[in-house]
Every structure is written in structure tokens, then in C-alpha cells.
């Protein structure tokens, strides 16, 4: 968290024009950089979970509101009457159909899974900082590299502790 703010501050110091893009999450109050088209808005959710959580809640609420409206109730009863009492799915040769979302690519083994909203945020921020469009792929490569360095750093610390314990047993 502190590292995040430290990074954000150094980014803003290096790129003062991005200050206009600085906003605060209306749910958890964290500061974050938003896309220039949203500059100056203060009703946004952060990309670290709030935006997604509240979008989901909003959609559920809208759907509930709709089905409680007279129009929605009519539509629901129409749907219920149209639905056959018993429905047997037609059997397809070769087992159940593969359901695949078009956007998500299968994860490669050994690759960390990053929340897509988070990757998109990092991509947007790096693109803003560098002033050119950065691909999602580049961001994933970069995140993997950072994670690897963190792991190495952590391992080095553990090794040092073990070496120190060997030299000076408690």
C-alpha cells in the first residue's frame, strides 16, 4: 500500500500532466489514476475490486428493479408461459460443448493469474506514463518479471537469514 502511494507520487512528480487524472475511489477512498476521459470525476470506483463489485451489484439491482416494475412482471410471466414444462437439451456428438469466453485466453502453466481489471488498469497507467499504447501482453510480461524479482528478493532474504543463523546459532 505504501509502495503503491510512493510509486503514484513519483509518477505524478515525473509526469505532472497526469495530475488531472488523479482521482479517488468513492467506495474505499484510495487514490488512483484514471483515463483522461474521466479526468475530474469523483464518482468512480477504483480498479482494485470496488468498480467490479459495485458494477455487479448495480446490474443485479437494475435487474431486480426491472422485474418488479409492471412491465417487467408482464415480461417475466410471458417468459414463464413460453418456457416448455420439461426441456431436454439436444445431445451433441462428442460430449458437452466447450464454453469459452472469447476474451480470456487459457492460462499458461506457471503463469500467475492477474485480475483482468487490474491488468487493464496497469496497462492504461503505463500507456499514460509512456505516452504510447502498451499492449496487454507487454503488461503481463512486465508483471511476471516483477513477480520473479520479488520472489528472488524474498528468497535472498531467507538465504541470508539461514546463513546468519548458521553463523550465530541462537
Binding test (CB under 5 A) with Zn ion, winner from 21, 33, 50, 122? 50
Binding test (CB under 5 A) with Zn ion, winner from 18, 46, 122, 128? 46
The span of 13-21, 50-58, 70-78, 106-114 binding Zn ion (CB under 5 A) equals: 50-58
Nearer to Zn ion, 116 or 153 (CB): 116
Nearer to Zn ion, 18 or 46 (CB): 46
Is residue 25 involved in binding Zn ion (CB under 5 A)?
A: yes
Is residue 28 involved in binding Zn ion (CB under 5 A)?
A: yes
Q: Are 104 and 116 in contact (CB under 8 A)?
A: yes
Residue with cell 474521466: 38
Distance CA 85, CA 167 (A): 77
Give the DSSP letter string of 64-129.
HHHHHSHHHHHHHHHHHHHS-SS--PPPPTTSSPPP--SSPPPPPTTPPP--HHHHHHHHHHHHHH
Binding test (CB under 5 A) with Zn ion, winner from 27, 114, 129, 142? 27
Nearer to Zn ion, 18 or 25 (CB): 25
Q: Are 35 and 126 in contact (CB under 8 A)?
A: no
How many residues appear in the chain?
170
Give me the least distance between CB of 1 and Zn ion, in Å please: 12
Task: Enter the C-alpha cell of residue 149.
Answer: 524479482
Give me the least distance between CB of 35 and Zn ion, in Å please: 16
Is residue 24 involved in binding Zn ion (CB under 5 A)?
A: no
Q: Which residues bind Zn ion (CB under 5 A)?
A: 25, 27-28, 46, 50
Amino acid at each position: 500500500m505504501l509502495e503503491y502511494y510512493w510509486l503514484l507520487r513519483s509518477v505524478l512528480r515525473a509526469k505532472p500532466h497526469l495530475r488531472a487524472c488523479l482521482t479517488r475511489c468513492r467506495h474505499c477512498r484510495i487514490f488512483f489514476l484514471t483515463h483522461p476521459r474521466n479526468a475530474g470525476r469523483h464518482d468512480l470506483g477504483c480498479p482494485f475490486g470496488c468498480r467490479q463489485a459495485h458494477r455487479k451489484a448495480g446490474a443485479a439491482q437494475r435487474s431486480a428493479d426491472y422485474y418488479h416494475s409492471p412491465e417487467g412482471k408482464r415480461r417475466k410471466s410471458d417468459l414463464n408461459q413460453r418456457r416448455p414444462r420439461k426441456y431436454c437439451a439436444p445431445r451433441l456428438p462428442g460430449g458437452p460443448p466447450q464454453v469459452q469466453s472469447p476474451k480470456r485466453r487459457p492460462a499458461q502453466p506457471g503463469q500467475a493469474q492477474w485480475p483482468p481489471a487490474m491488468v487493464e488498469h496497469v496497462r492504461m497507467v503505463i500507456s499514460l506514463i509512456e505516452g504510447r499504447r502498451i499492449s496487454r501482453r507487454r503488461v503481463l510480461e512486465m508483471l511476471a518479471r516483477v513477480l520473479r524479482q520479488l520472489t528472488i528478493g524474498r528468497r535472498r532474504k531467507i538465504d541470508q537469514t539461514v546463513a546468519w543463523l548458521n553463523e550465530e546459532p541462537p
